[in-house]
Structure 1
Amino acid sequence: MRPDQIAHVERSFRVIAPLGEMAAAIFYERLFTMDPAMHRLFRHADMGEQGRKLMAALGFVVNNLREPDRLLPAAAELGRRHAGYGVQPSHYDTVGAALLDTLAEGLGDGFSPPVRDAWEAAYRLLAGTMQAGAAPARAA
């Protein structure tokens, strides 16, 4: 990612982070609306706790975009764990769309085209790394 994209993600996340519970609820509502079958992946989850995990994971990603040597191995491990939960490669597109929708709602006019492009780049990096980390688990 370019430095200006990282700065856009960092600034916009500072707006979203205090709205964590609401943002997570919007995200999961969007996710399950887009793909109701994904709800089965969370059938045993405490969704309040799941939302806190989501926001913590996003915070970790945002706070480490400038430190890929720390971010990428953690993202690959996250991908390995998610493969074990039943996450499929096709789910990543739905998750990305739900994330962007959530950010658009939470940021309003602050979700400008450059901010959207920056979040898309961050998500592509995260999703690609997670999928690469998940590949050996799926092959086994």
Structure 2
Amino acid sequence: MLTAHQIDLIQDSFASVLPLTDAAAAEFYRRLFELAPDTRPLFRNDMAEQGRKLFLTLATVVDALDRLDSIIPVAHELALRHVGYGAKPQHYQAVGSALIETLRVGLGPAFDQDTEAAWTMAYRILAETMLAATRSTQH
């Protein structure tokens, strides 16, 4: 569970990344494709548009961190869509690593240990929720 302080760290740092959305999204996907080259064929659309979708989804999640129960249906739907796109459970680790590295580069010194730990915890909660949703549909 995230503390109020961790939620503040995530929301404040995300607000700092928003003006850099296009560059951050490009960096995220560059890192993702480097970490998990098998994800590249899953993205057939315009990557700039894909980046905007990524940040809209992140904004939705970041905004609702103090109401995690409201994120669960969103995460469930997102997980099901991603299964349809061809996402595999092992891709979640690469996505998390790419996200953290992108934030580290984009935020520089502002991405301190506490902020990184908060983002890591938030991503773990989201990924576990999404993975549980995909497992529940496979039974």
Q: TM-score, normalised by structure 2?
A: 0.96
**Aligned partners of 2:24 and 2:71: how far apart in 1?**
23
- 2:35 equivalent to 1:34: yes
- 2:87 equivalent to 1:87: yes
- Name the counterpart of 1:23: 24
**Aligned partners of 2:105 and 2:120: how far apart in 1?**
15
Number of residue pairs the alignment of both structures matches: 138
Q: Which runs of 5+ in 1 are unaligned?
A: none
Render the CA deviation track for 1:69-94: whole Å, top value 9, x for unaligned.
21111111111111111111100000
**Aligned partners of 1:82 and 1:19: how far apart in 2?**
25
1:1-140 superposed matches below 5 A: 1-42=2-43, 44-137=44-137, 139=138
Q: Which runs of 5+ in 2 are unaligned?
A: none
**Aligned partners of 2:69 and 2:99: how far apart in 1?**
24
**Aligned partners of 2:117 and 2:20: how far apart in 1?**
22
Per-residue deviation, 1:100: 0.3
Identity of aligned residues (%): 45
Moved over 6 A (4+): none
**Aligned partners of 1:129 and 1:76: how far apart in 2?**
7
